[in-house]
Amino acid sequence: MKFDGTAWVNVGPAGFTQARCDVISIDTDNGVPWVALKDVMQNSKITVMKFSGGSWLTIGTPGFNTGGMTNVIHLDIDNGTPFVAYRDYGANYKASVMKFDGNSWILLGQQGFSGGIYDSYSGLAVHSGVPHVAAWDSDGKATVYKFNGSAWNALGNRNFSTGQASYLNIKFSSTGTPFVVFKDAGISNKASLMKLDGSNWVQVGDAFSTGNATYTSLAFSADGSPYVAFRDEASMRRSTVMKYGTVTGLKEIARNEMIQIYPNPNNGLFTIKLPQMVDKNYVAEVINLTGQTVYRESLSNKSIHLVNLTGKPNGIYLVKIKRGTEIFQKKIIVR
């Protein structure tokens, strides 16, 4: 379905596949939607379809992939050419990639090239005709593989996550830099965003979710700022969207000042503990998800302050502690 400006409407006829579909990947190319799906009419192998002329057309042979049935499928369309990455049951459940060359579906490089099982959430990104796959290496950590025209090689350093990487999602920014977001078991299952810097993968900010983050999604704004959406296990499994960026005209309060906010999560009562430097003037603000400031107080002359948000709705709040042009920020949960 698509939103036509006033309502959601079907794109072509409803129920355009021959049978039910429980694994689907969708992409668009110049506004034209494509889908790759697990086709139960083809022994649960992959079929790709494109919307054209008011109907859905099958691209190439239905059920084309190597290795038999699969249940992990990712589609990316690059200038009209479809690429599909999938868990290859005929190659120890590792990643394989195929593309449609205009006449048939062809395998790119070796079958089952990833070091570990292919269990990514959206693990395929094609940039300038070159496919890249974010997947597990042999120890379950994150590795990105790039196709060089005949074989798959690791891009940058392997195993760049701290722990096992789940819900891997790869995207390229407008400048051609690959970014990968995932849940990192080595950092309390928080969401972590990394990018390629030269030949090494570096972390973009800290691991940023309050708790366990699943079903990650990554996008970029017009100015190149990354946005990450995920199911927030610390917020009753609701969706959270976060943006990485700097605040113009402000700089971060030095981490060695050890500002603490606890407990978190809390019931509306929490403590702000400042360093033992009471001669400096701090201001605390608490902001809700709509951008409204619900609490503001000067924190001069003492190092421990109790904040009372009882009566405010449960949910996620941003605590900002300012000192002149410096700022400290932390997300809290009231429940």
* pLDDT, tens digit only, all 335 positions of the chain: 999 999 999 999 999 999 999 999 999 999 999 999 999 999 999 999 999 999 999 999 999 999 999 999 999 999 999 999 999 999 999 999 999 999 999 999 999 999 999 999 999 999 999 999 999 998 999 999 999 999 999 999 999 999 999 999 999 999 999 999 999 999 999 999 999 999 999 999 888 888 899 999 999 988 888 999 999 988 788 899 998 865 444 455 554 456 889 998 899 999 998 876 555 678 899 998 777 899 999 887 778 899 999 999 998 898 988 887 778 888 898 98
The enclosing domain of 37 has a CATH number of 2.120.10.80
> Are 154 and 33 part of one and the same domain?
yes
145: left (phi over 0), alpha (psi -120 to 50) or beta: beta
Query: Helix, strand or coil for residue 225?
Result: coil
The vertex-312 CA angle with 309 and 318, nearest 5°, equals 65
> Are 213 and 326 part of one and the same domain?
no
The vertex-195 CA angle with 189 and 201, nearest 5°, equals 85
Total number of domains in the chain: 2
CA nearest to 320, candidates 240, 243, 253, 242: 253
The enclosing domain of 256 has a CATH number of 2.60.40.3080
pLDDT given for residue 153 in this prediction: 98
Residue written as token pair 């002329």: 53
pTM: 0.76
> Are 232 and 264 part of one and the same domain?
no
Distance of CA 333 to the CA centre of its chain: 21
pLDDT given for residue 249 in this prediction: 44
Domain boundary among 243, 265, 294: 243
> Are 227 and 263 part of one and the same domain?
no
Domain boundary among 221, 243, 265: 243
Angstrom CA distances, 33 to 14, 81, 133, 255, 263, stand at 14, 13, 22, 47, 47
> Are 313 and 276 part of one and the same domain?
yes
CA nearest to 115, candidates 144, 90, 89, 86: 144
Residue written as token pair 């009882």: 310
Give the whole-angstrom CA distance, residue 190 versus residue 326: 26
DSSP 118-186: ---SB-EEEETTEEEEEEE-TTS-EEEEEE-SSSEEE-SSSS-SSS-EEEEEEEE-TTS-EEEEEEEGG
CA 176, 181, 185, 189 dihedral sign is positive
> Are 311 and 209 part of one and the same domain?
no
List strands edge to edge, sheet with 260-262: 260-262, 269-273, 304-308
Give the whole-angstrom CA distance, residue 166 versus residue 154: 18
Domain boundary among 243, 267, 290: 243
Q: Can you give the residue range of the structural domain that contains 290?
A: 251-334
Query: Helix, strand or coil for residue 303?
Result: coil
> Are 183 and 216 part of one and the same domain?
yes
pLDDT given for residue 7 in this prediction: 95
pLDDT given for residue 256 in this prediction: 42
> Are 109 and 206 part of one and the same domain?
yes
> Are 156 and 266 part of one and the same domain?
no
Q: Quickly count: other Cβ atoms within 10 Å of residue 45's Cβ.
A: 23
> Are 147 and 96 part of one and the same domain?
yes
> Are 208 and 296 part of one and the same domain?
no
> Are 189 and 239 part of one and the same domain?
yes
